[in-house]
Structure 1
Amino acid sequence: MAITAAQVNELRKKTGAGMMDCKKALVEADGDMEQAIDILRKKGQKIAAKRGDNEAKEGLVFAEATADGKAGVLLALNCETDFVAKNDDFRAFVESIVKIAVENLPASIEELKGLKYDEKLTIDEKIVEQIGVIGEKLDLSKYEVVRTENVVAYNHPGNQLATLVGLNKSGDTAADAGKQVAMQVAAMNPIALNKDGVDENTIQREIEVGKELAIQEGKPADMAEKIAQGRLAKFFKENTLLSQPFVRDNKLTVEQFLNQSESGLTVTDFKRVALS
Structure 2
Amino acid sequence: MSLQISAQHVKELRLKTGAGMMACKKALQESEGNIEKAIENLRQKGLASANKKANRRTAEGVIESYIHAGSKIGVMVEVNCETDFVARRLEFQQLSRHIAMQIAACPNVKYVNVKQIPQMIIDKEKQIEAGKEDLINKPELIKDQIIEGRIIKRLNELSLLNQPFIKNPDISVQDLINENIALMGENIQVKRFIRFILGEGEENDTSNFAEEVQSMLKS
TM-score normalised by length of structure 2:
0.54
The equivalences for 1:47-196 within 5 A come to: 149-169=61-81, 170=87, 171-189=89-107, 190-196=109-115
| Equivalent position of 1:274 in the other structure | 197
The equivalences for 1:257-272 within 5 A come to: 257-263=176-182, 264-272=187-195
| Residue number among 233, 240, 256 corresponding to 2:152 in the alignment | 233
Q: CA deviation at 1:148?
A: 5.9
The equivalences for 1:187-266 within 5 A come to: 187-189=105-107, 190-213=109-132, 215-216=134-135, 218-263=137-182, 264-266=187-189
Q: Distance in 2 between matches of 1:193 and 1:250?
A: 18
Count of matched residue positions in the alignment of Structure 1 and Structure 2: 130
- Retained in 2: the 8 A contact 1:215–1:224? no
Higher relative contact order (CA 8 A, sep 6+): 2
Percent identity of the aligned residues? 24
Q: Distance in 2 between matches of 1:201 and 1:148?
A: 32
| Equivalent position of 1:102 in the other structure | none
- Retained in 1: the 8 A contact 2:64–2:100? yes
Letter matched to residue 165 of structure 1: V
- Retained in 1: the 8 A contact 2:135–2:143? no
Larger Rg: 1
Q: 1:180 to 1:217 in 2, by over 3 A?
A: farther
Unaligned runs of 5+ in 2: 1-58, 82-86, 201-219
Q: Please give the per-residue CA displacement for 1:61-84, whole angstroms capped at 9, x wherever unaligned.
A: xxxxxxxxxxxxxxxxxxxxxxxx
Q: CA deviation at 1:153?
A: 0.7
Q: Distance in 2 between matches of 1:241 and 1:213?
A: 27
Q: Which has the higher strand share?
A: 1
Q: Distance in 1 between matches of 2:133 and 2:159?
A: 23
- Retained in 1: the 8 A contact 2:63–2:77? yes
RMSD (Å), alpha carbons: 2.0
